[in-house]
Amino acid sequence: MTLDQIETPAALIDRPRMMRNIERMQAHMDALGVAFRPHVKTSKCVHVARAQRDAGARGITVSTLKEAEQFFAAGFGDILYAVGMVASKLPRALALKQAGCDLKLIVDNLESAQAVAEFGGLHGETFEVWIEIDTDGHRSGVKPDEPRLIDIGRALNGNGARLGGVLTHAGSSYELNTPDALAALAEQERAGCVHAAERLRNAGLPCDVVSVGSTPTALAARHLEGVTEVRAGVYVFFDLVMRNVGVCDTTNLALSVLTTVIGHQADKGWAILDAGWMAMSRDRGTAKQTHDYGYGQPCTFDGSPLEGYTLTGANQEHGILANTGDPDTDIAAHLPVGTRLLILPNHACATGAQYPAYHARSGEDEIEVWNRFYGW
Amino acid sequence: MTLDQIETPAALIDRPRMMRNIERMQAHMDALGVAFRPHVKTSKCVHVARAQRDAGARGITVSTLKEAEQFFAAGFGDILYAVGMVASKLPRALALKQAGCDLKLIVDNLESAQAVAEFGGLHGETFEVWIEIDTDGHRSGVKPDEPRLIDIGRALNGNGARLGGVLTHAGSSYELNTPDALAALAEQERAGCVHAAERLRNAGLPCDVVSVGSTPTALAARHLEGVTEVRAGVYVFFDLVMRNVGVCDTTNLALSVLTTVIGHQADKGWAILDAGWMAMSRDRGTAKQTHDYGYGQPCTFDGSPLEGYTLTGANQEHGILANTGDPDTDIAAHLPVGTRLLILPNHACATGAQYPAYHARSGEDEIEVWNRFYGW
């Protein structure tokens, strides 16, 4: 199969680029002396996760119980479900545990900790639970110094639940764009999470795991003393948001959307593509960054950006490609109907989610179809 | 099954509201004396399209060949593929025609018209093709007065292709918000498309169908002289964007996302939900409208908005619900962990696309699972 034979739009993985991204992150983790647990929410694809595991990853992180079920069925045993557990989801978690999955849950409040412990006790199962720590104020978690951290830890110290560790995610790293700022946030993430672990240990509670990470802080971290593992997701593909954060450049981007030119509005300098927001996702993550890529950066088949052009607009199944300067009124000659292009996405997690499968490309004519899944 | 038994996040259809939306549109079309061809890209669900057909719709509009294949397999014969055809997609269109599907294609340029005619001739098939007309400058299409309109029509007047009509979509209606502006655009859409049809007929070409529409212009149209059919999609569910356009209010919104409170950041007045952007989509269509609903409007189970609260932020599987005024530092008491809410979405087409199935709710305990599909 060649690129010209794939029906468009399609989600294309550049496999050599992906492998280099995987190796780069794993080498950095090895150098820092910590385990690495990739977040598979980015790909939701067993083929991608296997490549991460083969490179040295230990365990995976998931964002839904469906991911846990699908990856467990594909032979992944050590799974962290990294969204706060609530009582209504415990039956599905129990089924996974009873089937032999080494599933870890997280909580950031006393009600949920008690619900897990009670449910576990009732069903003769001991859930391993980690406490979510808030080290940058961007989302959920207990702040490292909050008194209730110890109360939550104690609630997890019984028959139905066992405190396994602490974890944090400095997601505000996506808003930064200098190496020093990223390194400082990585240190804040590390220090806050280690401090929370020490408080729990000082209270006589077990806290084996100290888990931190986001793609930017993982790559920017200069030391990880006290940390046992790191998590990151989007590094596997990278994307234009990460390019603007400064942790990759466009030649590292391993996911793109294959599209076809279907028409023009020559007076406006528009080429109309069959990749609209359904193909690219509605993610406009670069809108507030230093370089706004619209709905994506058009490239030729060899991955070279068409300089000066972006996807300036998107309807459900139509993308509008235009020059950002003066209108290219000769665009129908430059990019005739039928021309095929690659579009680099703003956000690989969001774009991948629009597709039932990836087309993974090793060389010019070596293309495999890798299924992915969605839903909850 | 009750709402409390559905795992969250879930996409919920309020069936009585949906039926009222379907009846309202069909009654307006009947009153204007035109056929109605719903755009099923909004739901991608056979159950929803059947309800539209049962109410009087004639034929359907699709945005992908996969929709054409899926709906044809489910018994829908009269299908308009309303995205500009290109040569590489013709084999799939041919397979549908050969299987007996009454498939109509559209083009807006001479190259594509010639490609369809040539391919049809080569395979002994006559494709019915409509010419896309640009009546508001928002996307693709030939302007009603362009000389090339006649050239395209002539290219479709042979063995492999037959000119069936003209169609237009005044998608810029989404940017308006007064009845008079919408009515004026509906008239512009009608007049432009009818004029293009007249030019083709005056050139001796057939042009039976004159097809117009978008949800706002369809509802705002005061007369449709010369038009034979209208298309609209999102009216079946409506959404917050349509509420801001002024063609519905929040009590008409038939699609919502069922979510669970999984934690809080009480000092900031945040409740953390298990509906993030994967559940809501990244669509921020209300951001530039008169009322910005963030990532959605929280409601109680009876559909009443929680006034003053919106989804102010979203990560992949986390939504942040907050008061838009002073922080509600008692939010953990108002919306405890485990609380279930409905979230009205900005854009029903984008939100529905995130789900493998809808939960269609007729009454308190009458809930059916309606599958939907995705991909291309």
A175-223: pLDDT as tens digits? 999 999 999 999 999 999 999 999 999 999 999 999 999 999 999 999 9
Rounded to the nearest 5 percent, the helix, strand and coil shares of chain B are 35, 25, 40
**Residues A50-105 pLDDT 10s:** 999 999 999 999 999 999 999 999 999 999 999 999 999 999 999 999 999 999 99
Q: How far is B232 from chain A (nearest CA, A)?
A: 14
Cβ contact A376–B272 (<8 Å): no
pLDDT band at B364, cuts 50/70/90? confident
CA atoms of A141 and A136, how far apart (whole Å):
10
Round to whole Å and give the CA distance between A278 and A316.
Answer: 5
Q: CB distance A139–B316 less than 8 Å?
A: no
Closest of A368, A372, A364, A298 to residue A4, by C-alpha? A364
pLDDT-derived band at A158 (thresholds 50, 70, 90) equals confident
pLDDT at B268: 97
A-chain residues within 8 Å CB-CB of B263?
84, 108-109, 112, 140
- Which residue in the set B64, B84, B274 is minimally distant from A263, CB to CB? B84
| Alpha carbons B65 and B69: distance in angstroms, whole number | 6
- CB B88 to CB A63 under 8 A? no
Helix then strand then coil, in percent of chain A rounded to 5, is 35, 25, 40
State the pLDDT confidence band at B158, using cuts at 50, 70 and 90. confident
| Contact (CB, 8 A) for A29 and A235 | no
Q: Which residue of A has its CA nearest to B6?
A: A88
Predicted confidence (pLDDT) at residue A324 exceeds the cutoff of 90: no
Distance CA A311, CA A276 (A): 9
Q: Do A87 and B41 touch (CB under 8 A)?
A: no
What is the rounded CA–CA span in Å between residue B241 and residue A147? 43
Q: Answer yes or no: do B86 and A274 touch at CB < 8 A.
A: yes
Nearest to A318 among B7, B139, B264 (CB): B139
CB atoms within 10 A of CB A248: 24
C-alpha to C-alpha distance for B376 and B374, rounded to whole angstroms:
7
Domains of chain B, each with CATH number or no CATH: 17-236 (3.20.20.10), 248-371 (2.40.37.20)
- Cross-chain residue pair A262–B7, CB shorter than 8 Å: no
Q: What is residue B324's predicted lDDT score, i.e. its pLDDT?
A: 84
A316 vs B10: CB contact, 8 Å cut-off? no
Residue-wise DSSP of B64-102: SHHHHHHHHHTT--EEEE-S---GGGHHHHHHHHHTT-E
Alpha carbon of B54: minimum distance to chain A alpha carbons (Å): 26
Cβ neighbours of residue B288 closer than 8 Å, sequence gap 6 or more: none
Closest CA to A325 of A314, A313, A309, A311: A309
Q: Rg of chain B's alpha carbons, rounded to an integer?
A: 22
Q: How far is A42 from chain B (nearest CA, A)?
A: 10
Pick the closest to residue B139 from A54, A305, A264 (CA basis): A264
SS3 B167: strand
Backbone angles phi and psi of A311, in degrees to 5: -80, 100
DSSP character string of A14-47: EHHHHHHHHHHHHHHHHHHT-EEEEBTTTT--HH
Q: What are phi and psi of A101, to 5 degrees?
A: -75, 135
pLDDT tens per residue across span B279-325: 999 999 999 999 999 999 999 988 899 999 999 999 999 999 999 88
User: How many CB pairs lie under 8 A apart between chains A and B?
Assistant: 141
Distance, in angstroms, between B126 CA and closest chain A CA? Answer: 21
Distance from CA of A260 to the nearest CA of B (A): 8
- In the chain, the amino acid numbered A3 is L
Q: Tell me, what's the pLDDT at B200?
A: 98
**DSSP 3-state assignment of A286?**
coil
Tell me, what's the pLDDT at A325?
87
The residue in chain A having the minimum alpha-carbon distance to the alpha carbon of residue B376 is A9
Tokens read off for A42: 């980015």
Separation in Å, CA B179 to CA B173, B182, B222, B236, B247? 11, 5, 11, 20, 8
Tell me whether residues A263 and B337 touch, CB distance under 8 A.
no
What digits encode the pLDDT tens for the residues A8-51? 999 999 999 999 999 999 999 999 999 999 999 999 999 999 99
Residue of B243 and A363 predicted with greater confidence: B243
> Are residues B92 and A338, on separate chains, in Cβ contact within 8 Å?
no
Confidence grade of residue A2 (pLDDT, cut at 50, 70, 90):
confident
Q: What is the DSSP string of A133-149?
A: E-SSSSSSSB-TT-THH
CA distance to partner chain A, nearest, from residue B67 (Å): 12
Per-residue pLDDT tens for B50-68? 999 999 999 999 999 999 9
Tell me whether residues A111 and B336 touch, CB distance under 8 A.
Answer: yes
Contacts of A64 in chain B (CB under 8 A): 317
* pLDDT computed for residue B15 by the predictor: 97
Alpha carbon distance B41, B257 (integer Å): 19
Say yes or no to pLDDT of B13 above 90.
yes
Which residue in A140, A283, A374 is closest to B272 by CB distance?
A: A140
Mean pLDDT of the residues in chain B = 97
| C-alpha distance from A375 to closest chain B C-alpha (Å) | 6
Collect all residues of chain B within an 8 Å Cβ-Cβ radius of residue A139.
265, 272, 315, 318, 320
Residue A1 predicted with pLDDT over 90: no
Chain A: give the shortest CA distance to residue B75, in Å.
Answer: 24
pLDDT of res. A358: 98
What pLDDT is stored for residue A145 in this prediction? 98
* Closest approach of A201 to chain B, Cα-based (Å): 24
Contact across the interface for B375 and A353, Cβ inside 8 Å: no
Picking from A337, A340, A358, A371 by the largest number of B CB atoms within 10 A of its own CB, the best residue to mutate is: A337
Inter-chain residue contact B9 with A376, CB threshold 8 Å = yes
pLDDT band, very low/low/confident/very high, at B30 (cuts 50, 70, 90) = very high
* H or E stretch covering B187: helix B179-202
A222-269 per-position pLDDT tens digit: 999 999 999 999 999 999 999 999 999 999 999 999 999 999 999 999
Residue A174 scores a pLDDT above 80: yes
> What are the helix (H) ranges across A265-365?
277-280, 331-334, 348-352
* Sign of the alpha-carbon torsion through B251, B257, B262, B263: negative
Q: Do A283 and B282 touch (CB under 8 A)?
A: yes
- Distance, in Å, from the CA atom of A18 to the CA atom of A307, rounded to the nearest integer, reads 23
* The amino acid at A287: A
Interchain CB distance below 8 Å, A7 and B86:
no
Structure-token match 């040295």, residue found: A56
Cβ distance of A263 and B140 shorter than 8 Å: yes
Please report how the helices B65-73 and B46-54 are oriented relative to each other, as an axis angle in degrees rounded to 10: 70
Contact B139 A88 (CB under 8 A): no
Query: Searching chain B, which residue's CA lies closest to the CA of residue A312?
Result: B139
Substitution target in A267, A317, A354 with the highest count of B β-carbons within 10 Å is A317
- pLDDT, position B303: 84
Residue numbers in B near A357 (CB within 8 A): 375
Is the Cβ–Cβ distance between B160 and B121 less than 8 Å?
yes
Residue whose entry in the numeric block shows the structure tokens 């969250």: B8
| Whether the Cβ atoms of residue A346 and residue A240 lie closer than 8 Å to each other | yes
Number of H helices, E strands in chain B: 12, 17
**Out of B274, B283, B338, closest to residue A282 by CB:** B283
Predicted local confidence at residue B248, as pLDDT: 98
Contact A34, A227 (CB under 8 A): yes
Contacts of B112 in chain A (CB under 8 A): 262-263, 337
Closest chain B CA to residue A92: B7
Cα–Cα–Cα angle for B373, B67, B77, rounded to 5 degrees: 130
Cβ atoms < 10 Å from Cβ of A14: 21
Instruction: State how beta strands B60-62 and B78-81 pair.
Output: parallel
Return the residue of B nearest to A42 by Cα: B316
Sign of CA dihedral A130, A136, A137, A142: positive
How far does the CA of residue A281 sit from the closest CA of chain B (Å)?
7
Q: How far is A69 from chain B (nearest CA, A)?
A: 15
* pLDDT tops 80 at residue A285: yes
Q: How far apart are CA B346 and CA B291, in angstroms?
A: 11
Report ipTM (2 d.p.): 0.97
A264: chain B residues, CB-CB within 8 Å: 109
Token pair, residue B332, equals 């953990």
- pLDDT over 90 at B214, yes or no: yes
